[in-house]
Amino acid sequence: MDKKATLTLHDGKKIEFPVLSGSIGPDVVDIRTLYGKTGVFTYDPGFLSTASCNSTITYIDGDAGILLYRGYPIEQLAKHCDFLEVCYLLLNGELPSAKQKGEFDDMVTRHTMVHDQLNRFFTGFRRDAHPMAVMVGVVGALSAFYHDSLDIDDPEHRKISAFRLIAKLPTITAMGYKYTTGQPFMYPKNDLSYTANFLRMMFGTPCEEFKPNEVLVRALDRIFILHADHEQNASTSTVRLAGSSGANPFACIAAGIACLWGPAHGGANEACLQMLEEIGDASKIGEFISKVKDKNSGVRLMGFGHRVYKNHDPRAKLMRETCHEVLNELGLHNDRLFKLALALEKIAIEDQYFVERKLYPNVDFYSGIVQRALGIPVSMFTCVFALARTVGWIAQWQEMIADPEYKIGRPRQLYKGAPRREVVPLAGR
Ligand code: ACO
């Protein structure tokens, strides 16, 4: 049976709209004909109740704490797959066979080098620039280096651009880091895995052989998997909106990186680490929690709460596990900040304030501690997030371009400015 929703306008006129159902999740009221039929728009800044597209990539049930990529639970993907398998899944809809995985990994590996002239592009930046500022610039500049894959109507061009972006982001991220430290850029090494290669480009030097630690490689690979996609979040919606005009994929991903940079989005793990440093000691937790509960203080428990998850963030549980593994491996199980984080988490999840508001630890509560233990500087945390999210952005961009219903994104507004008035020439004002 076709579902319908009826809207009654102020003059009593009733209009019916189709209600569309997805495979799981809430139905949506299809209001595309609303303006044509009634002359009114809907008003939903912040998209609190608006689905901006249909998608088959990622599903979140925030009340139940569920995250699925192409139908597969994040817990199973984190346990059984590596990041490139997850990339294949997000891009193609299915997990690869062993043969497909081999071909895919090979294709990514063979696109990891960047145009040599890009090395000189880096030197135009100040060495003390924020690494995200450099990343936005360099990724945007890729369209000036790879003219041969910019035709978005050609599926082969789209595919090559996708490989280039996934493959080159680790190289570009590591180059950004090396540039700030004054060390030479490290070229990628093809016999290493995607993630081991990134660690080598970050922390290796030409002077000695870099031996990747498998536990740390696996931990970073898991960070990449957990951040690979998260449906229509702010940066993904930015990529889609930028791409809806037909802009090239390198420019679109640069737009996504710019959006991710904001502290309300990608910057929370950095803020969480700063908060732990500020608390400093377990004896100060009580005092800090009282401040958080005091609405006048403006203090929030960073790494807690989420717009969509009103239950445990499934990624947080996995990141907590990884945190234990990494700290054990590095002999840091007595790490001051980790112990403090555990004590803070225990107190907060039992406290009525957090229970009533359904505030649970999110992925950022632990990811900063893991990255810090891996030796990644705090200013690079959001770059690592961007590296991992690139595949999600591309998968969503590809899906949009291939969608027969795809149109340029063009929101409307509720105008509250001056009505028409006449210009008084300067002499008369
Ligand atoms: N600490 C203390 N109180 C909080 C927190 C927090 N971290 N988060 C929400 N609350 C309280 C609010 O004060 C509000 O209380 P009230 O009902 O008494 O007024 C209630 O919980 C609801 O909060 P909102 O701000 O309305 O929730 P919203 O969904 O808009 O915000 C957000 C979600 C921004 C993530 C928020 O929980 C927050 O600021 N958390 C800390 C920052 C953080 O960790 N962000 C990372 C998100 S995960 C990611 O981006 C990968």
What separation in Å is there between the alpha carbon of 340 and the centre of ligand 1? 21
Find, among 10, 5, 166, 185, the residue nearest to 91 by Cα: 166
Point out which residues pair with 208 in neighbouring strands: 205
The structure tokens listed for 360 are 């649970």
What separation in Å is there between the alpha carbon of 300 and the centre of ligand 1? 7
Q: Mutation test of ligand 1: which of 236, 359, 360, 384 has the most ligand atoms closer than 8 Å to its C-beta?
A: 359
Instruction: Report the SS3 class of residue 99.
Output: helix
Q: Is the pLDDT of residue 1 over 80?
A: no
What separation in Å is there between the alpha carbon of 357 and the centre of ligand 1? 9
Q: Could you give phi then psi for residue 216, rounded to 5 degrees?
A: -75, -35
Q: Is 116 exposed, middle or buried (0-12, 13-18, 19+ CB in 10 A)?
A: exposed
Structure pTM? 0.93
Q: What is the pLDDT of residues 336-378, one digit of tens each?
A: 888 898 899 888 889 999 999 999 988 888 898 899 999 999 9
Q: What is the pLDDT of residues 300-313, one digit of tens each?
A: 998 888 888 988 89
Q: What is the pLDDT of residues 152-184, one digit of tens each?
A: 999 999 999 999 999 999 999 999 999 999 999
Atom of ligand 1 nearest to the CA of 295: 13
